[in-house]
Structure 1
Amino acid sequence: MRDTYSVSSDDESDFEDSLQPNVKKRTAKQPLRITPMPKHRKKGFQTECCNGQKEAAQPLANDLFDAVKAARSDMQQGEVRLKCLKALKGLYSNRELIARLELFTSRFKDRMVAMAMDKEYDVAVEAIRLLTVILKNTEGVLTNADCEIIYPIVYASNRVLSSAAGEFLYWKLLCPESEARVGGGREQERYRSLHAQRSFFYLLMAFFMKSELHEHAAYLVDSLWDCAGFRLKDWENLAGMLLEKDQNLSNVEERTLIEILVSSARQAAEIQPPVGRVTGKKGLTAKERKLQANDKAKLSEQLIPLLPQLLTKFSADAEKVAPLLQLLNYFDLSIYCTGRLEKHLELLLQQLQEVVVKHVDPAVLEAGAHALHLLRKPEFTFFNRVDFTLSQLMELLTGHFKQDLNELLQSSFLDEDEIYSLATTMKRLSAFYTAHDLTRWELYEPCCRLLRKAVDTGDVPHQVVQPALTLVYFSILWTVAHFIESAASKNQLLSLKDRMTAFCELCQSCLSDVDPKIQEKAFIVLSDLLIIFSPQMTVEGREFLQPLVFSPEAALQSELASFLMDHVFLQSEDMSSGHSYFEDDEQIEQLHHRRRLLSGFCKLLLYGVLELDAASDVFKHYHKFYRDYGDIIKETLTRARQIDRSHCSRILLLSLKQLYTELLQEQGSQGLSEQPAFMEMRDLARRFALSFGPHQIQNRDVVVKLHKEGIKFSLSELPPAGSSGEPPNLAFLELLSEFSPRLFYQDKPLILSYLDKCLQQVSQIPSPPWGPVTTYCHSLSPVENTAQGSPQNRLQSKTSHIRGRGTSSTPSTSSISSTSSSQEESLQLSSVPPTPTLTSTVLRNRQPLVTVGKKEEEDGSRLEFVYRLPLSRTQQSRHSGALYFGVPPALPSPGQDSPLTCLRLMEEDEEELGILNESSEEWQDADKEPGSPSSLSEHGLDLLDTTELSIEDISTWKR
């Protein structure tokens, strides 16, 4: 947390002690002129500092002390802190005044260093710039402890702040001392020599390794780019350090230098900060585009001759080869032709073949396939040469694949070496199938035979099944791409449809495999294929693809939902304090993987592939797994409501029914409402209710239907004739009461009458109504807000809130008709319109709570039923905050005082307010029309686009 800069009382006493001798000296020479501080102190401090800078008077430190003392109360404001720092930076930039600021520097140095972590970025940036000026113009003022506070800021997300910290780091650690003192000219040119450059890279490498953030080299390079870009662009020198044998670099040092090399190349080619770093710029200027082109040409000229040598030296290390292959992304590849560098291209292609044959690491194979894809473009004159290299490589790999596959299909037993050979070959083929069309090598049929044997016998190792699924998947996708480019015949479309159907059956069988990795791979492949072959593929002039549309059967939909329950909604293990860093990191990675699986299933729901009712399996876990998947489920709920508001409300009710039925079967109906699981269900119902938003007009019919369906379910199973027990589903009314604030004021009596009619079908109703019925009736009572406003009821609700949920008083009436009469009587207590709440300007004397409570007791028992109805703390906070939902609050009776009404409005439950804040964005999203352009574009990053096939790839089909 960044501390707010302020001057404490201790500093004030220090000021007074230090100023006394100086004041005496100045009094002996000349009278002390005290400039009165203006009323607007934000300008006062800066004015005095600037005046001191201009006049350069001898007692400059004393004037600064006086100014800080006068402005110390305004230091809590960011604007004041910012102006103070700017003024001080001007003072410290003048070398003639630095000696006179020693006392001020010693007293306030710690404060200036602490302001580098200010909560306002502008203040923090200015503080670091001030410290940089102090560092360049003084010696020994900033200690190592002071500097270590600034160093980690180079990895901050704000680019301006990180660049300021990068400049401080550069002048402190990374540049020679003489350059820090000499401005330019020949001295600067001399230190751009080979020795100075290598010293810079060694120091940068040492700092990066010491910071122990080895995955953030791009952020460090971006922080230093503005001040040390000319050094980071010396790629030839940096590559030379890696190639020289006499450098004696360790394995870690070599990896670090390669990361710095690749990061600086990316920064020069893209001129964009890394992902996650905030910048205010939205585009490149003409000057920046010209600089980008020049840097890209320089990068290509320097590294194209050296890249084959680097690959040759580090070809055995996967962690070094993968980033080196990424350098091709930042080259101007046309230089291979215009610069007559064909011989270096030949060497590069040879190294690429060796790297692919030698490595099995997915990152290396993906980088190699992508590198060939960049080089294999028709606009390049060397296209045929690269295509020939790819053909050679694929002929080699497919030959090994078919030979090993025949041995596997014909033999009942294979040793580990044969299995490893087949698995590695298929991994290489699957990596290249993602970037290149390998249809001419006909890999679909042999892979399908392999999968069929795996499903029928289970003798195929899982190392082989996973890449086989990937190969068949991309084989189908490349065929679809061909059909889209050139219209295919109907027979060809039907043949592809048969292939796709057969493959889906194989994937469905793999969902029940014993290996979890095969199950997850099959689920991901199925999710993507079902979206691609959905009815949306025929839009925008692609009606000829109609024969390819595929709809999953009910059995497949059920298995997909079952997989989700078994692999996604799992109880998270308690992370003990003894777990190591790697165990925690592995658990985080597993969580991200489960989130991708859930996103794939949610896309199937929203694209209409699966029945929308299947969303109940997701929604019912909204509260329990809110921490892990809350954003994904919330996004799905919002979009489902945009598709069909009425259907979405029925799904929410279905989710509650399913959870209630499961709990009823496990625990029974006795004491069901007191179970912790039931309390979680109430919290879930509250979240569902808040998702409707404050606009009741749009949801009026939907909420009324929801209440009626809930009442039907609660009374669907009646107790045996002659039994005095309550219906087993009656406690569901307590869940339904969470949706009562969503009802219109005029609809509540209608729901009460509907409940009365339904209760008349019950053979025997006890004299005091059942607890759930009483709670539900109270939530529908039109005068419940009036009852809440009474001091007596408020004190009782406070007591019940402390005791906990479930404690309530016994109702004092026997039927709902008596409740209605009590409501009508309470509404007629006064015929004079009361003063609106929170708008009265009349001053009243304070009245003790006891007196008001006695006055309420003297009113008789007309509101006794309403007062004594049980209220949970959730209902109290919800009714007291009725203005949030647009529900007209009940008008207070004349006997109620305004101060007590204000007090009631301030006693809101913190938990409920937290949920309201969480659901504010959801209200806005839910109110938008499905077809509005802003309804889907305001979300920024799509939370559902996380599976193999991105949702943007299908967006054109959807339109």
Structure 2
Amino acid sequence: MAEKKRNSSSFKLYPKLSIATVKTSTPIREDFQADDFELSESNTLNSTTTTPESHTTYEKSTIITSLENVALSDEEGERPTHVANVGKDWNYFHPQDASSIYRLVLEENDCLKDLAYRWFNLWEEHPKDGIAFMLQFYIDVAGYQNYNMVKLYDSDQFNEKNLLKKFEHNWSQGLVDYTYLLRTNSNWSNHCKAKIYQFVQEIVIYCGKKQSYEYTMLQELFNFLRIMACSKSRPVFHTGVVLAAKCIIPLSKLYTITTEELGKYVSTKDVTTIEVANVRSLFQNKTVLVKLLGLLLSIIQKNYSCQDKQLKDMREECIKSLYQALKWNPDFFFKSNILGMFTKLLFDTNNEVRLIVIKILQKLMKNKRYYSYLKIKAADIMRQVFVHTLDMDYNIAIASIDFFTESLRLYRSEFSQTILNKIFMMIYDKYYPLASAAGRFLSSFISEMSEDEIGVIKSVIRFSKMPRVEHMLPLLVESLTDCVPELHSYKIILRLLLTSEEEMEFESKAKLLQIMCHSVIQNLTGKAIILRHEHREGEIDHHKIGIIISIILPRIITLFDMFSEDVDCIKVLLEMLISVSDQGVIIEYRTNVIQILKIFAQHFFDSNIPDVLDLISTLFYKIIANGSLKLEGSGILGKITLFYKIIANGSLKLEGSGILGKIFKQCEDDYNAFISNYEESWSKDDIIQFENILLKIKSLLKCFNVPITWALDDVEHLFSKVTKFNETLLSFNLLCGLAHEKWSLQSSLEGIHLANDDVLLKLELLRRRCDDFLDVCYKYLKIDTSNILMETAYECICELSITIADEMYKRGKPYVDVLKNDKISEAQKSLLLRFLHKFVFNVLVSDSKALKHLNMFCKAIMERGLPFEILPHVLTHYSSLYNKYGDIFDMMLTDISKIDLNVMGMVVSSTLFIEFTNVMTTGTDEAAMQNLLQQFAKILTTQSLVPTLRFAVDLAFCREENLPFLRYIVYLCNSLSAESKLFLLEYTYKTADYSKFCKHEYVLEFVMLLNSSKRKGGAVAPKGRQKRILLTSSTRTEDSRISTEETSAYDTTN
């Protein structure tokens, strides 16, 4: 809507009472004649009148002296500062009457205290005019500057019903775009609102400095606010309630001061005659103040929870003002059930309102001053706040946990075990800021129980032993790392680890070692080894790194000896050493590093744990590739061999007597010996021994292009028939093949030069070799009897597809044209989908395993290793399994839309069409189709909606049997703009078969909708759309934790 500019010359202004410092001529409104009210000089309030300090017609009493020092605190509103009179809001709401209070408050730079005093002077001399002036100010704030309150209002013959009726029948008269000042949020309007709120509060404070009968004037003003709060006109209603809320703050302050002053007299035995009169006056004042507080509170209580979406600002101002008033007069407000008002707004429809209420309750709960009022209600308040720890708005969930953290000190006995356990479990939430808030709660909980640093560390150990979360220890440490400094006290931790078992049992020491290692890793890298959907990115202090390494590294061998039998401890030690190897400072500890490598080289031969072997290989590779021990030339470092630049005095040689050379030679000899001596009568022990050899080769191949004579077919020929006896061995062989193919692919591509004539032939041969390996994988994917081989084959397909895509796209178009995998056969697609249904969309499969496989599939799709045509078959589960996989699907679809909107349209429309086909061919319930439509509607943007519908139209017009598909996509069309509807309509007309089916009922209905120019936001899905339920839609599912490293959201950067 175009802006409507107000022109003061377009209508006449009525002659208001001038309280300006300069007399101005005032135009006359059309609806009010000049002779209706005479303006005399005695009615003006000039700046030359008596100053506030000298003006008083009464003898000062003690209470007046006390009240003269009353002022608004900084917490009760921002002090107005100058803001330029520019912008749309200023154009709409700037004062139109030069002599109004509204103009003086908004535009004059005079002190608002002085302005309040000048108005009070006018009221003393002409009470009726003073009241009319202030009521006009209220209405001006509401946006009705063209209303003449001097004419409408008569204090002797006032008719509330007529006034309310006038507002209700003409509520939009004079408003621009149906808005008003208190609903705007520009710099100018916020500045004006702050000045308005301060002015009405200054009026209350100044009246409090006078004798009791001035309070009757406040009662008259407050009664008018009550009338405004009864109006059905939203601007009048909103303004009346908010101004009443702002007035309750200084009134509460006056009540407190009056009560304190009265208490001084009550405690005095000897009271003079004058003091008796003062006491009587104070009692009278207190009685009046209680009535006024009750009047304002009744206005707020009646309206504070009005669930009008456009009045969320009103609700915010009400609860903020109540909290400010409560601080001055807790006794009155707690007796008035203010807690019930706050807790009711805990379930407000607006996120900001809920957040403010929780923060206010948090401040109340941590303040000892309110303990006597809250101790009875504490448990009930906690139950209601606890619901919001699962709020869909993470800011509210975090504030809710902070509420419990602040409540621990005073109300710990009121905490139920359910609340404690559920907050503790949020430490493992997928969203780090929420987990960090839960970590702060645990930190406070532990600190209350512990006397010293060792006590805190032992408490963390006990907590880490909670059932079902042992494997998520890195997340626990991440949540506590910023709030439990004791986890970084490595000298104390090492002292505890090296104590006798009488002082700490071995199980606790093992857990403490893991905690220490994860803490070190996070200090060195800034993040945990398990990544949440949103994880911590800590700052890395390089000075601190040197200190940590100097404490930890010399004691690694001792720790290895202590925990060599504990696999989890060895794994976390290796993880920590890998993080340490990335730090150049370890060159100062090369003697320690070489000793460590020798120990783990021997452990490589002794162990048969896949993860341990992989980590040892990674550690060797990291130290070599990062140059941590690099000193080229003679002396400490010797000859550089193969691709690597590190040899530490012969200790890491890749050949001969070096550590890696011995490992490679031993593995090759063992492998060749078993291949050459194979017999069909091999025992189970022989098979296991051969598995261990392949396992070691697989781990080495992951990091090194190992100089071992090895081929996938060797083992394939020996074990052509898959049995339970050899399936593990074949899976290890397949993983060795994957690693070998990846190295071969990289080496071959580096050796190909585009200038050579045979480049295409070489690429074709390379593609064929990769296909041969993938054929072996698909062969194993077909074997339903071996889950191990199926999962390994699936992993190899995804991994190699991703590697091929990475290598070809970074090298350019000639490589992409030959190596890309645009299509896969129907048989291969069927095998992949069958695997996903068995291992991902099966409720019997563990969450960690299912998420790992889905994560791998999504990454292969996004890296363009697998074609997009498979994705729609997977996305048919988008709605039904949203609680489990929704984050991954949402992230993937968002990324696809950023890459190519047409691809996004093709994927979504194809998914819907597949589900539509299921409904039509199998007769399944339409509910799944409706839910899928609604789920896609939430993720589709206005940009991606048009391509989606364009592809959907193409699918619908393929043949007559598909035309009912139009009935479903109508739901998405309802969100289109008029221009997009017109585009889609023209596209439909141009469809090849439109003329053939144009008379069909579904086509006619579809075209009729697109012909409508208006946007229909309230349309429903076929056969009913689920209605939004407040509480369920604003809360998350309780089980939003991460279970393993593989369950982190898919990330194409990993």
Query: Shorter-normalised TM-score: what interval?
Result: 0.5 to 0.7
Whether 2:751 is the aligned partner of 1:516: answer no
CA contact (8 A) 2:763 2:818 kept: yes
Shift of 1:106: 3.2
Specify which of 498, 513, 526 is matched with residue 797 of structure 2: 526
Letter in 1 for 2:745: V
Distance 1:948 1:682 in 2: 27
Distance 1:753 1:375 in 2: 64
- Residues 676, 400 of structure 1: alpha-carbon distance in 2 compared, 3 angstrom cutoff: same
Letter in 2 for 1:202: K
Whether 2:666 is the aligned partner of 1:393: answer no
Shift of 1:477: 1.6
Letter in 1 for 2:375: S
Specify which of 867, 872, 888 is matched with residue 1013 of structure 2: 888
Letter in 2 for 1:266: I
Partner of 2:967: 737
Partner of 1:204: 460
- Residues 223, 599 of structure 1: alpha-carbon distance in 2 compared, 3 angstrom cutoff: closer
Specify which of 604, 610, 616 is matched with residue 362 of structure 1: 610
Partner of 1:471: 736
Whether 2:504 is the aligned partner of 1:255: answer no
Shift of 1:450: 1.6
SS in 1 for 2:958: helix
Distance 1:684 1:148 in 2: 35
Whether 2:304 is the aligned partner of 1:304: answer no
CA contact (8 A) 1:704 1:747 kept: no
- Residues 321, 656 of structure 1: alpha-carbon distance in 2 compared, 3 angstrom cutoff: closer
CA contact (8 A) 1:159 1:223 kept: yes
Shift of 1:568: 2.0
- Residues 407, 588 of structure 1: alpha-carbon distance in 2 compared, 3 angstrom cutoff: same
Distance 2:997 2:362 in 1: 74
Q: Which consecutive residues of structure 2, in runs of 5 or more, have no partner in the other structure?
A: 1-255, 268-278, 301-316, 347-352, 389-395, 631-636, 638-645, 974-980, 1031-1041
SS in 1 for 2:544: helix
Letter in 2 for 1:234: S
CA contact (8 A) 1:682 1:735 kept: no
Partner of 2:715: 450
Render the CA deviation track for 1:410-444: whole Å, top value 9, x for unaligned. x2221111100010111122122212221x2232x
Specify which of 326, 330, 336 is matched with residue 575 of structure 2: 326
Letter in 1 for 2:544: D
Render the CA deviation track for 1:820-855: whole Å, top value 9, x for unaligned. xxxxxxxxxxxxxxxxxxxxxxxxxxxxxxxxxxxx
CA contact (8 A) 1:453 1:459 kept: no
Letter in 1 for 2:738: Y
SS in 1 for 2:520: helix
Render the CA deviation track for 1:479-505: whole Å, top value 9, x for unaligned. 333355565685976775564344344
Shift of 1:126: 5.3
Shift of 1:165: 1.1
Distance 2:908 2:467 in 1: 52
CA contact (8 A) 2:493 2:516 kept: yes
Partner of 2:566: 317
CA contact (8 A) 1:537 1:549 kept: no
Shift of 1:407: 2.2
Q: Where do residues 73-152 of structure 1 align in structure 2 (5 Å cutoff)? A: 76=346, 77-78=353-354, 81=357, 84=360, 88=364, 91-92=367-368, 103-104=372-373, 106-110=375-379, 113=382, 117=386, 119=388, 120-121=396-397, 123-124=399-400, 127-128=403-404, 130-131=406-407, 134=410
CA contact (8 A) 1:217 1:260 kept: yes
Shift of 1:683: 7.2
Shift of 1:205: 1.7
Q: Where do residues 624-703 of structure 1 align in structure 2 (5 Å cutoff)? A: 635=892, 642-643=901-902, 655=914, 659=918, 663=922, 675-676=923-924, 702=951
Distance 2:926 2:399 in 1: 50
Aligned-pair RMSD on alpha carbons? 5.3
Partner of 2:115: none
Partner of 1:797: none
Whether 2:432 is the aligned partner of 1:432: answer no
Whether 2:441 is the aligned partner of 1:165: answer yes
Partner of 1:569: 837
Shift of 1:282: 7.0
Distance 1:278 1:454 in 2: 42
Distance 1:476 1:248 in 2: 52
- Residues 28, 886 of structure 1: alpha-carbon distance in 2 compared, 3 angstrom cutoff: farther
Letter in 2 for 1:888: S
Q: Where do residues 173-212 of structure 1 align in structure 2 (5 Å cutoff)? A: 173-174=449-450, 176=451, 196-210=452-466
Partner of 1:345: 593
Distance 1:51 1:688 in 2: 52
- Residues 755, 482 of structure 1: alpha-carbon distance in 2 compared, 3 angstrom cutoff: closer
Q: Which consecutive residues of structure 1, in runs of 5 or more, have no partner in the other structure?
A: 1-18, 53-59, 93-97, 177-195, 576-583, 664-674, 715-731, 760-772, 783-881, 891-901, 918-940, 954-959
Specify which of 721, 727, 731 is matched with residue 462 of structure 1: 727
CA contact (8 A) 1:423 1:464 kept: yes
Q: Where do residues 474-623 of structure 1 align in structure 2 (5 Å cutoff)? A: 474-483=739-748, 496=766, 499-513=769-783, 514-533=785-804, 537-539=807-809, 549=819, 557-570=825-838, 586-596=845-855, 598-599=857-858, 602=861, 610=867, 617-618=873-874
Distance 2:1051 2:777 in 1: 20
Render the CA deviation track for 1:535-593: whole Å, top value 9, x for unaligned. x84555557857973769x8x62331121243223599997xxxxxxxx7x53244325
CA contact (8 A) 1:641 1:648 kept: no
Answer with 1 or 2: which has the greater Rg.
Answer: 2
Partner of 2:708: 441
Specify which of 1015, 1021, 1025 is matched with residue 912 of structure 1: 1025
Letter in 2 for 1:432: L
Letter in 1 for 2:791: E
Distance 1:914 1:203 in 2: 46
Render the CA deviation track for 1:799-826: whole Å, top value 9, x for unaligned. xxxxxxxxxxxxxxxxxxxxxxxxxxxx
Counting aligned pairs with the same residue, the percent is 11
Letter in 2 for 1:169: F
- Residues 62, 245 of structure 1: alpha-carbon distance in 2 compared, 3 angstrom cutoff: same
Distance 1:478 1:419 in 2: 27
- Residues 906, 91 of structure 1: alpha-carbon distance in 2 compared, 3 angstrom cutoff: same
Letter in 2 for 1:172: E
Shift of 1:302: 1.3
Partner of 2:44: none
Q: Where do residues 769-788 of structure 1 align in structure 2 (5 Å cutoff)? A: 776=1002, 779-780=1005-1006, 782=1008
CA contact (8 A) 2:478 2:536 kept: no
Shift of 1:47: 3.8
Distance 1:947 1:150 in 2: 21
Distance 2:413 2:904 in 1: 68
Partner of 2:524: 269
Distance 2:797 2:563 in 1: 39
Letter in 2 for 1:247: E
TM-score by length of 1: 0.59
Distance 1:687 1:160 in 2: 30
Distance 2:904 2:481 in 1: 51
User: Number of residue pairs matched?
Assistant: 685
- Residues 569, 62 of structure 1: alpha-carbon distance in 2 compared, 3 angstrom cutoff: same
SS in 1 for 2:733: helix
Render the CA deviation track for 1:63-106: whole Å, top value 9, x for unaligned. 765694797588644465466457647853xxxxx6xx663353
Specify which of 674, 677, 684 is matched with residue 407 of structure 1: 677
Distance 1:201 1:690 in 2: 46
TM-score by length of 2: 0.54
Q: Where do residues 931-946 of structure 1 align in structure 2 (5 Å cutoff)? A: none
